Every structure is written in C-alpha cells, then in structure tokens.
A and B are shown apart, each in its own frame.
Chain A
C-alpha cells in the first residue's frame, strides 16, 4: 500500500504546526470563532452537539496494522476509548478537546494519516471499493487511481472554495461496492478492446435532492483521466450555484445546465488543460501503482479450515455470511462486522481496533479496509488462517455473522451526536437488530440492506437502502419516514417513499410487518427483498406498512 514520502511527511508536519498555532491563537483570543471556524474545518474539526468531533480520512478505506493501532491509541489517549467508522471511509472521534487536537493530528501524521479535506467545500476523501486488490470480479485495482486523485486534489489551489463539498468514488469491479452512482463523480474502471479506461458518472448524490449519477463519458483513456476530472471540477466551479446552498451541488448544476452542455463544456476545458499535464500525472500514477503491488501470496494448504467448517456450525455461519471470494485460490476476503446486535453501527473500541490490527499483521498481509457500510475488511486471508481469525474475532465480540443481512445497518450518528440531525438513528438501528435477532429470522430473510439517516442530508444513505429510514422532527417529536426499493449498486435506484412517517415506538413494528410481508410474498427463498420489491412494486409492501388504510381501501 501507499506510504508517504519525505515530501508528504514534511507537508503534514508543516500543516499541523500551522494548525497548532491557529488553535493557540483561538484559545488566547487572537482569533475569533468566525475566523477560526474555516481553519478548523479545513483540518476536519467540527463542533457537534455535545463536543468537538475530529474526522480523519482513511483514503480509499485502506490502512495497515500500524495505522489501526495508532487510531486505537488516539481513541484511548484523547477520546473516550472508541472511534466511529463512517460511510465515507473516515473515522470520527466524538469527544476531543480543542487543545488536544494538534497532538492528535501529529500522532496521525506519524503514521501517514491526516484530517485534511474531510470537511469544507472541497474535494473530500476519495473513496473506493473496500475489496480493492482482492475481489475476484475486479478488472483492475482502483486504489492507484484513487491515490492519484487524492494527491492531485489535496490543497489544489483552484478547488479549495468550491460551491459545495465534492465527493469522488472509484470502483474497479463491474459489481459496484463503492456506490459510485451516488457521488459527485463516480469512476468505474472498464475494459474496451483490451484497454483499461474509465467510465465517468457525474451528478449523483443523496441529500434533500437525491439523484443517480449520469454517464458523462463512456470511456476515458488512462492518460486522459486526471485532466478530464480537473475539467469537470473546473466547469462545476464556474457554473455551480453559490447563491443557494441547497442548489450548489454538481447534481443540480448538471440538472439545470443539461448533461450535453456540461459534456461540451468539459470537452472544451479538457482540450485547454490536457497539454499542461504533459504526462507527469502518468509518471506519478506509475510510481503510485508500484506501491499497490499484490502481497506475496502463498499456497501452503488449507490447514484445518475444511474440518472446522464441517464440524463447527458457528464458524460455518461466519464463513458463509462474512467471507467472500478472493481473486486467488486458497485466499478469502473476510468482512468483520461492526454491527453486533444492539451495538452502535460503525463503532469499534480501542481494544477491538488492536485485535483487528493484530489479525491483519499476523495472518493477512498487514492490510485492512474500512467499508462504506461501516465494517472492517481483511482483504487477503489464506483459508488456513480462517479458524484462528474467527476464534480471535469471537473473543473480541467481532464475529457477528450478519454481513449484508438485516442487522448490518448503515446508520449515521443522528441526533445522538450530530448538530445537523433532526432525529436519532442509532437507537432505531439497535432496536431493529435486536428485534430480528430475537425473532431468529435474520438468515431466513437473507440479503437486505437497511440504511438510516437522522436528517435530510442522508449521510446514512437511506435513499439507496432496500429499506430506507429517514428521521425527522415532526412538531417536536421524532418521526421516521420509510422509503423502499433503493439500491446503491451498479443497478442504482432511489427508494420510493412509502407513505406517512412513524413514531419512534411504531417504526420497529412497521419494519417487522414489512419483512413478514416479504417472506409471504417472495417466490422462493432465493428471491431477495429487493427482487421481490422490483417484481411487485410498492403496493403490497405499503399495505403491510399501513394495514388500517389497506383495510379501509378494501371496504
């Protein structure tokens, strides 16, 4: 994986020294809050409901054991002993004190990490498929390109004051695990006549105006990628609405200007900008790609994997649910659920972080990934080590076999932490997970993605949840709206609002009715919830959600 060179290290040290001075000046009164706020946001420091919050980037979700241990150390030394992994492959610390943040940033820089551009109207942390470099269905590893984009966008002078924040995601597989269609720019690595290139989606996004990204270019050759991206952001920087925050994202620009006109403008911009790149970007990409060479895969047999699988039902359930096919025989991808039933989705204690770091270092080529679904991945695991990994995870409370199931819920921090939220998300996720665990239905229900947001900004991706839940404030009471049929994959779709919202005490029974309706309606156990919904439409599910109305209609 990529490791910072002397330039990167010096840059971070200088940037942190600058911020340390800014914090000192805020505390001694030389800087007002109005002056300080944009400076702290440029370094990932928010002020939330109960405390400051530091958002740390984990570019394309990749980190090694040393970095994970440092995240654990920071959680223990300067926070409350845990961290929250987010849907954008960041980690958030919910309780830092202002004067400690410069030390936290220095500790991050020691392991090549930072909080730059995790806030503000700039190009945010670049995200990617969490199975990158390991997936059996991968055309090419998207991380070198993601790293190139990170380097290009970091402190890019033209793009520090965009109309709004700007999010880029990259996938190297046709099965889109990076939700590229819900990003300002989605990049899909494609192959045409043996040549690797990029399909570019633009104008996707969730929030109050959810939109699926549109294909701006079907095939951008490798050499053209960076100047083409720069041209898109330049056009957006020019056209984007600065008069209205709610209309400022590129999705609105594309919608108002028209895709063809945007394409024409990007083409003109590209023609002007391309010569300036002069191949330097490709030299950089070549250098970066060398850092992402596959680990030295071995093949020393399967050990006691087969016998453990045959005799230990709990291990078998874990493998069947949490383990995916690797591109190499004898290897597997292990997803570690941060969603044990009743837990806060995405949270890991410092001890759990150390356990995961140890497992990566001992058994899995020292690599970890953070998924946008708020789980942790060991991307390169020899089959023979799976029993030992499972046993260690079980002892650490990390072996919940629920990846992709009803309790593997994405939930934003909601009003338990977030200053923008209008209702809580976490308790709803906790109650759903606990309820379906009690019902012992989870594995019978099969693949089902529930996503919960505590406000219209949709950090919990509810629009692309098979079942989406949006928490709102209705006359001073928490209220939850349900959307159905959303999908964040290559077949992306925005969920359809089912009807009036539910009170906090009504939402769990409503979800239960919905799931029972699906179990009744599905053609066979192989038909997933989303497939059933797409086959049958909203009506039968709506009838389950609102039985009184359905009865009245029938009368």
Chain B
C-alpha cells in the first residue's frame, strides 16, 4: 500500500545568496516558511517541484520538505527543516536576526 501523502512545501537555496527559500502560492520565492504554499496533494506537489526546477537562474536544489499546517502557515515537522527555517542555533545571525 502506498504511504499516505503528508503536506509539503517546495524549498531550495537562493542562487545568489544561498539563503533557504520557499515557493509561495503566487510563484514568488520567500525567505519565510509561514508564507510558503502548503501543498496537500501529491500530484500538485510534483507539478510545483517541476515549476521550481524550471528556475535554475534563481534557485539551487529544490525539493519537497515535510511540513504541517499551523496557525500562521506551514510549520516544520523535522528538526532539520526547523533549523533551515530559522538559522543556526549557536549564533543569532541567521534568519532569526532579522525576525
């Protein structure tokens, strides 16, 4: 039996800065996970990943990351994506510095 599909966001690194970015519903790349498009359908997820892969002039290494729906928008379900969404934990100089 296929594994049930769990919600996803499309994420990548920005080409110029290397920053972690997320694809929004209106085709922008945002630095903020909560602004990302929450994808709950597997076929749609594959299409959105293809959309991202068609933008090599803007991003590097797009992939689908697991998330869950939260009150403000998508939230990470794994600690790796949590660190990617906010920056390293030893200094406050990643994304958390601008929050």
Q: Which residues of A contact B (CB under 8 A)?
A: 26-27, 29, 32-33, 47-52, 80, 95-99, 344, 415-417, 424, 426-427, 430, 473, 476-478
Contacts and interface: CB of A to CB of B under 8 A. Distances in A.
Given A27-B15, A97-B17, A47 B89 contact: no
B73 interface: no
Given A50-B18, A478-B79, A33 B94 contact: no
Interface in B1-34: 13, 15-20
Nearest to B79: A478
A51 B94 CA distance: 10
Interface in B33-81: 56-57, 60-61, 77-80
Contacts of B60: 33, 47
21 contacts: A47-B18, A49-B88, A50-B18, A50-B19, A50-B95, A51-B13, A51-B17, A51-B18, A80-B93, A95-B18, A95-B93, A97-B17, A97-B18, A98-B18, A415-B80, A416-B89, A417-B88, A424-B89, A430-B90, A476-B79, A478-B79
Contacts of A417: 88
A29 B59 CA distance: 12
A517 B91 CA distance: 33
A301 to B, nearest CB: 44
Contacts of A426: 88-90
Given A98-B18, A344-B91, A476-B77, 5 more contacts: A29-B56, A51-B13, A52-B18, A426-B89, A476-B79
Contact of B79 (A47, A344, A477): A477
For the complex of A and B, 6 pairs with smallest distance between CB atoms: A416-B88, A51-B18, A52-B18, A426-B90, A344-B90, A29-B57
Given A27-B15, A47-B61, A51-B18, A416 B56 contact: no
A95 B91 CA distance: 13
Contact of A27 (B16, B84, B87): B16
A32 B56 contact: yes
Nearest to B13: A47
B56 A415 contact: no
Contact of B83 (A52, A95, A97, A415): A415
A299 B30 CA distance: 63
B87 A97 contact: no
Nearest to B15: A98
Given A417-B88, A427-B89, A48 B18 contact: yes
A92 to B, nearest CB: 13
Nearest to A31: B56
A33 B16 CA distance: 12
Contacts of B90: 344, 416, 426-427, 430
A476 B78 contact: yes
Nearest to A345: B90
B11 to A, nearest CB: 11
Nearest to B86: A50
Nearest to B77: A476
Contacts of A478: 79
Contacts of A33: 56, 60-61
A427 B79 CA distance: 14
B3 to A, nearest CB: 15
Given A33-B56, A50-B84, A50-B87, A99 B94 contact: no
Nearest to B60: A33
B56 A98 contact: no
Contacts of A97: 16-18
Contacts of B91: 80, 344
